[in-house]
Structure 1
């Protein structure tokens, strides 16, 4: 079995936007003097960077017979068909084709995704939508783990 681990991170432009938030805070605090200006620059940038990092730092793993996507841990035995999504299909499944009951690890800045159906009759979740930069590799690992478990 080949392990799989991917860490989704925010794009570089978001980090630049964090600096711009700091500059905006500095400009807001400019009338109060130099020290508040520097505090606004450092504090605004730090808060925006923490928010960017928290949103962007998501891990996707296949470990110990489970697909771990963010906070969700789904046993491979409960997974059904795997569909690699690219281009228009990715946009369709995160918008008008989306089911509100689905578990979606959605990152709009990642153009590819994987849709995995859930076969557990006790679980109301119809599928898992996972934004991933390597959907073919993740699909292959899930298939090999499923075959080795059978």
Structure 2
């Protein structure tokens, strides 16, 4: 008889099968994504940190190595800290520091490929709230229905736009 692996907390399969007397936290996000840089952008981050150390090589190679390592670490931390989080939680759509009640949003639309390129390029909406990352090649657009809000829509990069749209629709139905 083989031993069953220990359940991993936080995974959907194990959370659903869990017989815990405590229900899931009401503030648990129904969708959460951090728009981290792509692998190519990480290479640039490390290269920029290395260049800082390279400048000091003529003075002292040991000091240059230390400065390069510290600079790379700082660059990585900054890249993670400045990557916005897209989340849908408790009837609110969070995008970085911005947030809006899902009841004030229209029907979200998934945009990929040519549609996405047009929306962030030639069909750019100056009154829309944009959170677009060049290394993410898909996203969503959702109209803002509040008449007093000068923002016409939210345009959001997402690596999983279908999941984000599903989370928004679910939150809108529950609201």
Taking structure 2 as the reference length, the TM-score comes to 0.77
Give structure 2 stretches of 5+ with no counterpart.
1-28
- Pairwise CA RMSD of aligned residues? 1.9
Match runs of 1:77-92 below 5 Å: 77-92=103-118
Residue of structure 2 equivalent to 1:107: 133
Rounded to whole Å, the distance in 1 between the matches of 2:45 and 2:102 is: 38
Match runs of 1:11-30 below 5 Å: 11-30=38-57
Residue of structure 2 equivalent to 1:44: 71
Once the two structures are superposed, residues 51-85 of structure 1 have per-residue CA deviations (whole angstroms, 9 ceiling, x without a partner) of 322233x2111111111111111101100121110
Stretch of structure 1 that moved more, 122-131 or 86-95: 86-95
Stretch of structure 1 that moved more, 68-77 or 19-28: 19-28
Residue of structure 2 equivalent to 1:134: 160
Rounded to whole Å, the distance in 2 between the matches of 1:86 and 1:131 is: 10
C-alpha contact 2:108 2:141 (8 A) present in aligned 1: yes
Q: Secondary structure at 2:125's aligned position in 1?
A: coil
After superposing on structure 2, the runs of 4+ consecutive aligned residues of structure 1 that deviate more than 6 Å are none
Which entry has the higher C-alpha Rg, 1 or 2?
A: 2
Match runs of 1:3-18 below 5 Å: 3-18=30-45
Question: Per the alignment, do residues 65 and 21 of structure 1 end up closer, same or farther by CA in structure 2, a change over 3 Å counting?
Answer: same
Rounded to whole Å, the distance in 2 between the matches of 1:112 and 1:13 is: 17
